[in-house]
Amino acid sequence: MTEAMTDPRMEKQLGMETEKALTPRPPGNSVMRLRNVAVAFGGRTAVHDVTLDFPEHQVTALIGPSGSGKTTLLRTLNRMHDLTRSAQVTGQVMLGDVDVYGGSISPTLLRSQVGMVFQRPNPFPTMSIYDNVVAGLRFNGARRKGLLDEAAESALKSAVLWDSVKDRLKAHASMLSGGEQQRLCIARSLAVEPRVLLMDEPTSSLDPQATKRIEELVTELKTRVSVIIVTHNMQQAVRVSDYCAFLLMGDDRAGQLIEAAPTTKLFEHPDDERTLDYISGRFG
Amino acid sequence: MTMTQAPDRRHARREEIQKLASGSERRRKIYSGVGLSICGMFLVVALIPLISVLAYTVQRGVQAWSADFFSHLPTPAGIPGGGIWNAMVGSLIIDGIAAVVAVPFGIAAGLFLAESEGRVAGVIRFAADVLSGVPSIIIGIFAYIALVRSLGHFSAIAGSFAIGVLMVPIIIRASETAIRGVPHTLAEAGLSLGARRSTVARRVILPTALPGLITGVLLAVARGVGETAPLLFTAIGSQYFATNPNQPMAALPLVVFQDGIQAYPDLQQIAWGTALFLITVVLVLSVGSRLIAARLGRVRL
């Protein structure tokens, strides 16, 4: 059903084929689709007119210099801007065949399907490792121990943390190292079984070794979720992503999408000169 | 030409800057010394009344302390062996009821203030500030009109009401500060898992802010325990052992006030002993709140 809706031909019938020339369609099915999405804070545009598809079970990287609106765009996908009173999101965000801002899905239900990992590891400091992993399930009303245990083990294994914490699940999350804490946060998101995992520069506060492990993890997560990752690090984008979108701050100081393409194409034969300038290190 | 001159002139500039810097360093040391002595002077000025009050109360109060003092009911003037057992229980009941009502109310209001930026929050914050500035005797009169006159008799519950009103703004302010201290990223983490805001508040924000909340509550209780004026209009005091909140009840500050103005030395002695006990209770609460905050804060974060 969802697959059928994301079929390009169906889209054409639905009249959603805007700006196809600018953004080559990603291969396979799309898990999330943006149509003319713009974000403004207090009437001031921060990101404008993004039309972009995120491929299912792949890693999409949002790259671009500071101020290009990567994080702002990412946070529209799970309605994090709802908490900022002055924020206004226009355009259409689709998760499968559900209009994210259409009123048919509550922000809380949406966020249980679109998880998020943040720049700095933010485990709940009052909770144990185990309680952190199953926090999302409990918040959503899950109580059955069998379900919680199973979800915790599965999520921790996916986050490559199970072996090092299985004997100290009751220990405080703050006992873990920074990299482990970030993997715990990834496990916490995975435990809710989201369809999409948003990652906002998840390695920006980690050392190179921990960064490497997170990057390896991201590529392994593909089978479980579709990943959308914001990074300011182009090498990281090359290493982890299959598909890549390049954003840039325009003259009006608002971010805009320059181009999106499979990562190898974007880095080897970008269509836009500005992309070439950026990836070859001429600015940003 | 400039190439050869530049180092020399840089050298001269450096020497001048060094001279200025060492000159200003000498000045700074003098200013610093003067400033420190002024601070020290004021510290002494501030400490003199504190220490003399404490020392005098200890000196006079300790004489009153005995097993009887803490376990007996008051006796009429001239009859030895009187105690403050009923006042200790009375204060516990009055302040306990006040805290039970004021704590949830104050923390809820603090949470609201910390989480919302609207006009309503501004009005509430202003109201709490004004309330915390209202003299406690005025609140006593208010409780008298609201609960004593209307019910027709003095009662501990009216005292609890007055003390509770005094506690609420303290708890609101402390809770707001404590809750604002919880990193925003934790709330975002909760929300990103699909939790409602109320769930995040209950399961993430409040537990994380707990050390600060406990501090605020203990400080508010410490303040409430020592309040005298509101109780004069409400609980009024009692010579008997009372546990019914609907009746007049003894309380520690009332003993200090009422026995302290009597002409009988043995009653004055009781007042001194009670004053010392009150100070001890308040000190324990204040220091205890700091210790709890420090300990929980260290383990949790």
Q: Which of A89, A91, A95 is nearest to A72 (CA)?
A: A89
Q: How many domains does chain B have?
A: 1
Is B225 a residue whose pLDDT tops 50?
Answer: yes
User: Which residue has 């239900």 as its token pair?
Assistant: A109
Residues with Cβ within 8 Å of residue A268, at least 6 apart in sequence: none
SS3 B136: helix
Instruction: Determine the angle formed by the axes of helices B85-115 and B252-260, rounding to 10 degrees.
Output: 130
Q: How far is B291 from chain A (nearest CA, A)?
A: 18
End-to-end CA distance of chain B: 62
Please report whether residue B282 resides in a domain.
Answer: yes
In a domain, B200, yes or no: yes
Terminal CA-CA length for chain A? 42
Question: Distance, in angstroms, between A190 CA and closest chain B CA?
Answer: 9
Tokens coding A34: 């943006």
Going by pLDDT thresholds of 50, 70 and 90, the confidence category of residue A3 is very low
Q: What angle do CA B252, B159, B240 make, to 5 degrees?
A: 50
Q: Flag whether B180 is in a domain.
A: yes
Domain that holds residue B271: 80-300
In a domain, B287, yes or no: yes
Question: For residue B115, how many other CB atoms are within 10 A of its CB?
Answer: 17
Q: Domain limits at A250? A: 2-122+202-279
Residue A8 covered by a domain: yes
**Is residue B46 situated within a structural domain?**
no
| pLDDT > 80? residue B4 | no
Check if the beta carbon of residue A140 is closer than 8 Å to that of residue A112: yes
Of B185, B196, B299, the CB nearest to A108: B196
Say if residues B175 and B212 touch (Cβ distance below 8 Å): yes
Average pLDDT, chain A: 89
* Domain contains B65: no
Of A109, A115, A125, the CB nearest to B208: A125
**Which pLDDT score, from 0 to 100, does residue A21 have?**
42
Residue B69 domain-assigned (yes or no): no
**Any bridge partners for residue B128, and if so which?**
none
Give residue A134's pLDDT. 96
Q: How many CB atoms lie within 10 A of CB B295?
A: 11
pLDDT of res. A24: 52
What band does B290 get if pLDDT is binned at 50, 70 and 90?
A: confident
Q: Is the pLDDT of residue A154 over 80?
A: yes
The alpha-carbon gap from B186 to the nearest alpha carbon of chain A, in Å, equals 6
**Complete DSSP assignment for A43-105:** TEEEEEEEEEEEETTSEEEEE-STTSSHHHHHHHHTTGGGGSTTEEEEEEEEETTEETTTTSS
pLDDT of residue A6: 44
Query: What pLDDT score does A16 carry?
Result: 43
Question: How many angstroms separate the CA atoms of B77 and B90, rounded?
Answer: 21
Q: What is the pLDDT of residue B116?
A: 85
Within-domain flag for A190: no
The answer for residues whose C-beta is within 8 angstroms of residue A223's C-beta and 6 or more apart is A57
Nearest to residue A26, comparing CAs of A60, A50, A3?
A60
Residue B135 has pLDDT above 90, yes or no: yes
Position A280 scores a pLDDT of: 87
What's the pLDDT score for residue A29? 87
Max alpha carbon distance in chain B (Å)? 105
Inter-chain residue contact B300 with A126, CB threshold 8 Å: yes
A167 domain residue, yes or no? no
Return the H-helix or E-strand segment holding A35. Answer: strand A30-41
Q: Decide if pLDDT at A13 tops 70.
A: no
Residue A7 in this model has a pLDDT that exceeds 50 = no
A128 DSSP assignment:
B
Q: Does A188 touch chain B (CB under 8 A)?
A: yes
pLDDT per residue over A96-140, tens digit each? 999 999 989 999 999 999 999 999 999 999 999 999 999 999 999
Residue A194 has pLDDT above 70, yes or no: yes
Q: Would the pTM of this model clear 0.90, i.e. be above it?
A: no
- List Cβ neighbours of A267 (8 Å cut-off, separation of 6 or more): A234, A237, A238, A244, A279
Q: What DSSP line would sit under A157-183, residue for residue?
A: HHTT-HHHHTT-TTSBGGGS-HHHHHH
Interchain pair B193, A125: CB under 8 A = no
pLDDT of B52 > 90? The answer is yes
B193–A185 CB contact, under 8 Å: no
Rounded distance, CA A33 to CA A36, Å? 10
Cβ atoms within 10 A of the Cβ of A147, count?
12
Indicate whether B205 belongs to any domain.
yes
Looking at A4-8, A148-152, B28-32, B107-111, which range is the least confident one? A4-8
In the predicted structure, residue B207 carries a pLDDT above the cut 80:
yes
Which residue in chain B is spatially nearest to A83 when comparing CA positions? B188
Q: Which residues of B touch A139 (CB under 8 A)?
A: 190, 193-196, 199-200, 203
The pLDDT of residue A12: 42
Residues of B in contact with A140 (CB under 8 A): 193-195
Residue B185 tokens, joined? 């990223």
Closest residue by Cα to residue A225 from A191, A201, A178, A200 = A191
CATH code where residue B206 lies? 1.10.3720.10
| In B201-264, alpha helices (H) | 206-226, 229-232, 252-260
Half-sphere exposure of A100 (CA within 13 A, CB side): 28
Give the contacts of A228 (CB within 8 A, at least 6 positions apart).
A32, A54, A59, A60, A62, A74, A77, A196, A197, A198, A199
Whether residue A93 is contained in a domain is answered as yes
Q: Dihedral (C-alpha) A31, A36, A40, A45: value to the nearest 10 degrees?
A: 130
Residue in chain A closest to B296 (alpha carbons) equals A126
Q: How many domains does chain A have?
A: 1
Is residue A4's pLDDT more than 60?
Answer: no
* Main-chain phi, psi angles of B22, to 5 degrees: -70, -35
CATH number (domain holding residue A218): 3.40.50.300
pLDDT at A1 over 90: no
Strand segments, DSSP code E, in chain B are none
Asked if residues B275 and B61 have their Cβ atoms less than 8 Å apart, the reply is: yes
Beta-carbon separation of B195 and A188 below 8 A: no
Residue B164 host element (H or E): helix B156-180
